[in-house]
Each structure stands twice: as structure tokens, then as C-alpha cells.
Amino acid sequence: MRTEQRAGSAPTGIIRRYFDHLPVSDETPIVTLHEGGTPLLHSERLSEEMNAEVWLKYEGLNPTGSFKDRGMTLAISKAVEEGSEAVVCASTGNTSASAAAYAGRAGLTCAVLIPKGNVALGKLAQALVHGARVLEIDGNFDLALNLTKEMAQAYPITLVNSVNPFRIEGQKTAAFEIVESLGRSPDLHVMPVGNAGNITAYWRGYREAKRAGWSQTLPKMFGFQAEGAAPIVRGEPVADPKTVATAIRIGNPASWIGATEASASSGGGIYSVRDKEIVESYRNLAEEGLFVELASAAGVAGLRQLKQRDLVPPGCVVTCVLTGHGLKDPDWAIAGAARPKLVPAELGPILQELDLG
């Protein structure tokens, strides 16, 4: 098999990089877009505000712009290995973008069910451009997921939502990378929660990193749902979840148990943040040069809440996951910003407009 490698660096893509820690063999055809290896950026502003050492795992820099690619490379590779010819997923947007891209690369048919009117434009564009069969349903994500589960049971089509165990396996590699970058585990790990697959994956990753001797400790795991879509916090499914952060507009998370296990056994917690707080953190991150989508800002908003609750010990090491890229949702980005002003194509008026004249 041809192996793709970047000159002078470790093997590319999470499967080659963590081959011995994933359920793969030499027979597994590796379908990759060189996902993973995303930056862990130190945030000076947040570190100062939190009186802690705050690191941001910028997952928006994966090939399709979200963390989903880590799980999708493995889910699609295993689907090909098992002889599948078609995959299906329900999605609030990012899963479908990723599934469409990786299915396209593997030559598989990809079907996608999305909740009507609640998928950001960039994500929809991705699924369409990669040739997925995209169907909008008159219902929310939870209903879409139930329908795809039924489809996968009745027909020879592989479900690639995070109920597919290979998704979680792939996504755990982000925790490996954090431990590798820091040379240790963080003290606190903070992230948004929707369907709860990712927090389940990180917790598994941190535990495996410790077992492998890469770290001596485990972080406290904190997950944040949007207030209007916070079933785990409320302790019961939410029939009609509502939030501006459409990626996490989920009322009955598939990995509910994984999330509560991660928070409870690590001494962390699952809490909620208001839409207003999500938007504020979204803007703050953008000011710091980090364009993320709204759902991604829920983790940072959550970190601020932890600080208010006195749950951020001075000087501790914190990692916060920025799950998706801001370009996914251009409508939202533009809605809150001033429109460019039209000026004559002459230096004078331009300088005047910029208060330089």
C-alpha cells in the first residue's frame, strides 16, 4: 500500500499516527484526509482572566472544519473494510459534512438526514458539494437519528453517527495529542456537549493515555450544554431543544451515559450556559484571532462559569476544545457585524473613513 507522509514528520492522519491504539489491522484500508494534528494554542487573554494556564485545542482546523473528521476517518475506513457500499447519518451539520467528504474519498454512497432549517449554511454546502444525498426532515436531530438507526437496521447501510463505536475510537486521539503537546494531562478539560460522543471519546483518550504511561494524572471533565438544549443537566430528554448554537441543538444525546460517566468519575460536571454567554465568548475568541462556530464557544463560556463558581484553582492547566470552524456559519458571523461601507475608489475618502486623513 502507498503510504502518504509529510516530509520530515510523523505519519499523517490519526489512523497511521495512532495505529497501535486503534481497532485497525494491516488489512484496514485507510481512508484519510490527514485529519488530526491540530494546534493546541495558548490563550493569553483567557489565562489572565482565569488566573490559570489555558490551552485551546483548535479542532476547526481539521480537513472538513470540525473534530468529526477524527471519528469519520475510522468509521469510513472500517465500513470499507467490512464491505459496506453506503453510509447514513443524522446530523446537525458537521457530521454530515465529514461523512460526505470521507464517503466521497472512499467511493461510498452517503445519505444524510438533517433537521429542517437548523443546519448552518457552510455545513450544508459541504454535504452537497461532496455529493451526499441530503434530505431535510420536518423534525429535529433526535428524530432524524432515530430514523437513521431504523434504516441501518433494516438495510445494508452503515450508520456513521457516534453510536458507531469507531467514531468514538477515532475521536479519542484528540486527548492523545493534548497529552503529547503538554507532556501531561490537563487539570481541567472543558468542552461543549451535544450528542455527547466527543466528551465520551476524550475521557477514553485520557484514560488510555494514562494507562500507556504518557501521563500520570487524569483531568476533571466538564461538559457544557446550551441552556435550551440541556437534557443531561435537567435529567430528562428535552422534546423541543432550542439554542442559537445549532450544532448542539440536541434533546436526547446518544452518549448520555458516556458523558455522565466522564464527569462523575473524573470529579467534573455537566452544566449549561446561556445563548447570550455563548455569543459573548464567540466574539471574544474572534477578537483573539480564533474564528469558531457558536457551539464551540460554549466550552469557553463554560470555563468562565467554572471560574465564577470557584472551580478553577489558581495556576491550574486547562484545556478547552474549539470543536468547529467559524466559516461553517457565515450567516451568523455577518449578522452580528457591521457591514462594509462603500467608499469611492480613491485614497482620500478611504483615509478619511479610516480616520487617517
Taking the complex as a whole, the smallest distance from the CB of residue 40 to ligand AN7 amounts, in Å, to 17
Q: Please tell me whether residue 92 binds ligand AN7 under the rule CB under 6 A.
A: yes
Of 13, 36, 63, 93, the one binding ligand AN7 (CB under 6 A) is 93
Name the one range near ligand AN7 by CB under 6 A: 5-13, 204-212, 272-280, 293-301.
293-301
Q: Please tell me whether residue 295 binds ligand AN7 under the rule CB under 6 A.
A: yes
Residues contacting 342, CB < 8 A, separation 6+: none
Of 64, 164, 296, 319, the one binding ligand AN7 (CB under 6 A) is 296
Taking the complex as a whole, the smallest distance from the CB of residue 285 to ligand AN7 amounts, in Å, to 13
Please tell me what DSSP assigns to residue 307: H
What is the Cα–Cα distance from 287 to 232, expressed in whole angstroms?
A: 31
Q: Concatenate the DSSP letters of all residues of 106-163 into one string.
A: HT-EEEEEEETT-S-HHHHHHHHHTT-EEEEESS-HHHHHHHHHHHHHHSS-EE-STT
Find, among 264, 251, 258, the residue nearest to 198 by Cα.
258
Q: Which strands make up the sheet holding 158-159, listed edge to edge?
A: 133-137, 109-115, 86-90, 158-159
**CB-nearer residue toward ligand AN7: 94 or 284:** 94
Taking the complex as a whole, the smallest distance from the CB of residue 183 to ligand AN7 amounts, in Å, to 26
**CB-nearer residue toward ligand AN7: 87 or 196:** 196
Of 43, 62, 66, 73, the one binding ligand AN7 (CB under 6 A) is 66
Residue 27 phi, psi (nearest 5): -85, -10
Taking the complex as a whole, the smallest distance from the CB of residue 331 to ligand AN7 amounts, in Å, to 15
Name the one range near ligand AN7 by CB under 6 A: 14-22, 89-97, 280-288, 346-354.
89-97
Helix intervals (H) in 155-248: 165-171, 173-182, 197-211, 231-234
**CB-nearer residue toward ligand AN7: 16 or 229:** 229
By CB under 6 A, the count of residues binding ligand AN7 is: 21
Is residue 220 within a helix (H) or strand (E), and if so which, with residue range? strand 220-226
Residue 42 phi, psi (nearest 5): -80, 130
**CB-nearer residue toward ligand AN7: 187 or 293:** 293
**CB-nearer residue toward ligand AN7: 275 or 293:** 293
CA atoms within 13 A on the CB side of 166: 20
Name the one range near ligand AN7 by CB under 6 A: 3-11, 101-109, 265-273, 291-299.
291-299
Please tell me what DSSP assigns to residue 91: -
Of 293, 297, 300, 305, the one binding ligand AN7 (CB under 6 A) is 293
Q: Binding pattern to ligand AN7, positions 241-270, x when CB under 6 A?
A: ------xx----------------------
Q: Please tell me whether residue 324 binds ligand AN7 under the rule CB under 6 A.
A: yes
- Within its chain, how far is the Cα of 123 from the centroid? 13
Which residues 187-246 are close enough to bind ligand AN7 by CB under 6 A?
192-198
Q: Please tell me whether residue 95 binds ligand AN7 under the rule CB under 6 A.
A: yes
Q: Concatenate the DSSP letters of all residues of 13-41 into one string.
A: SHHHHTGGGSS--TTS----S------EE
What is the Cα–Cα distance from 264 to 190, expressed in whole angstroms?
A: 14
Q: Cell for 136?
A: 431535510
**Where does this chain bind ligand AN7 (CB under 6 A)?**
66, 91-95, 162, 192-198, 247-248, 293, 295-296, 323-324
